[in-house]
Each structure stands twice: as C-alpha cells, then as structure tokens.
Amino acid sequence: MIPYLRKLAGKERFEKSDRHLARYLTFVAGAVNAGGFLAVHQYTSHMSGIVSSMADNLTLGDIDVVLAGLAAFLSFVAGAACSAVLVNWGRRLRLQSEYALPLVFEAVLLICFGLLGSNLGQHEWLFVPATVMLLCFIMGLQNAIITKLSGARIRTTHVTGLVTDMGIELGKLFYWNGGRNNPARPLVIADRRKLKMLASLVALFFIGGSAGAIGFKHLGFAASLVLAGVLLMLAIVPVLDDVKAKFSRV
C-alpha cells in the first residue's frame, strides 16, 4: 500500500499513477461540486457558466451579480496559481511531496469549508459569498495539480473538455478508413486507452457528484471531512518521506 501511495502523489511520475490519481481527484471534485451546490446553490467548477452569467448580468445592469461572479472567477484563478506556486516551491527544494503539498492544502481548505458551513444560516450575507470563493479556489487548486503533473493531458474538474476530447476520439473510432493501402492517406486511428480514460473520468465525476449529494444530505458539512481525509491519505506518504529525510539530516 505504501509503495502505491508513494507513486500516486510522489515526485517521480508514471503514466499509470497519473491516471489513478486523476480518477481519485475527479471523484473528489464531483463530490465537492455537488456539496457546494447543496450549500450555496451554485456549481463552483463551472467557469464557463460563471463568465457567461457575468456577461448576461452586466448587460442587464445587475452589478452585484457581476461582482460576485468576478470574485468566483478570480478565486478559481488564484487557486490554480497557488497550486503552481506550491509545486514549483517543492520542486526547487527537491521535495518528494511537490505534488502532494497542494493536496494537503486542499484537504485543509475542505476542513475550512466544513467549519464555514456551520455559520451559513447565521450570517448568510458574509459566509455564502466566502464559501463560494473558497470552493472556487479549491476547484482551481485541484484542477491545476493534475494539469501540471500530467503535462496538461488530464483535467479533473473541466468536464466540458473531457467530453470534447471523448467526442474527438469517438469520431476517430467510427471513421471509415477507405483506401487503406494508399500511403498518401494516413489512417485515422482512435486512441482507445485515452477514450477509456476520459470515459472513466466523466463517470467518476458523476459518481462523485452523486456520493457528495448523498453525503451532504445525510451528514451535512461533516461530509467535507471525509473528502479531506481521502486527500490526506493520497498525499501522506510523500510528505512523511520528506519529514523523515529532514530529521535524518539533523
């Protein structure tokens, strides 16, 4: 189990571990997105919708909604930027946990989300916008983690991109290659492994969303602690490796 977790979020990357980590994070993203909707009635991974809403409400003159959308958008960007800072900081220090650090930070933020949730009913004017910004920050942070470690090959919160890539591969899969013996016409061949990966990510986002909705319905904001625990489990081995290495040099 420990060698598996070390490969999953460690410094040295493998294609298989990238795929496995992406699946775990996509499930978590779906759960957080669904839980956030139940909490604040807004999906926080959907930047296309937020930007479109900003444009619509700017035209209608509803400046408060525009500013709220801008805050959510900037929070998502800030989360992605924070992930890049943590990864590059860990890389410069040659830490084994350069990719695990953002996961630990995300777990801490999910705990904060759980704590904020207990105050939503008391000071809604303050805690609802703060919760939306926090969740958008988390979504940006997580999406950037897998984007960076996979070389922008995989996303975990951007379902629109996943479905688009699925459509492209399906178009290749069902393309009829006439004139197979003509070297001037290269064969159109689908990447079946990529298609399987994309389909699994979309399915896991859906499953995570369902699990998150059920969890938040029955457990309330305590469900976020379960998700935080999953992230800490994924990240703990590389972090402990760095702690052990530091104490061994003392």
- Domain borders along the chain are 2-158+208-239
**Angle at Cα 192 formed by Cα 188 and Cα 195, nearest 5°?**
105
| In the predicted structure, residue 151 carries a pLDDT above the cut 80 | no
State the average pLDDT over residues 93-100. 91
**pTM for this one?**
0.87
CB 142 within 8 A of CB 28: yes
Least confident of 38-47, 103-112, 167-176: 38-47
| In the predicted structure, residue 249 carries a pLDDT above the cut 80 | no
| In the predicted structure, residue 105 carries a pLDDT above the cut 60 | yes
At 224, phi and psi to the nearest 5?
Answer: -65, -25
Angle between helices 100-117 and 223-249 (to 10 degrees): 140
Half-sphere exposure of 104 (CA within 13 A, CB side): 16
Q: What is the pLDDT of residue 196?
A: 92
Task: Using only the alpha carbons of the chain, give its radius of gyration.
Answer: 20
Q: How far is CA 229 from the centre of its chain?
A: 16
The three-state (H, E, C) secondary structure of 109-163, written as one string? HHHHHHHHHCCCCCCHHHHHHHHHHHHHHHHHHHHHHHHHHCCCCCCCCCHHHHH
State the average pLDDT over residues 28-45. 82
Q: What is the pLDDT of residue 39?
A: 75
| In the predicted structure, residue 120 carries a pLDDT above the cut 90 | no
- Distance, in Å, from the CA atom of 57 to the CA atom of 49, rounded to the nearest integer, reads 12
Q: What is the pLDDT of residue 150?
A: 73
Confidence of residue 250 (pLDDT cuts 50, 70, 90): low
Q: What is the pLDDT of residue 68?
A: 87
| In the predicted structure, residue 10 carries a pLDDT above the cut 60 | yes
| In the predicted structure, residue 121 carries a pLDDT above the cut 60 | no
**Longest distance between any two alpha carbons in the chain, whole Å:** 72
| In the predicted structure, residue 129 carries a pLDDT above the cut 60 | yes
Q: What percent of the chain has pLDDT over 70?
A: 91
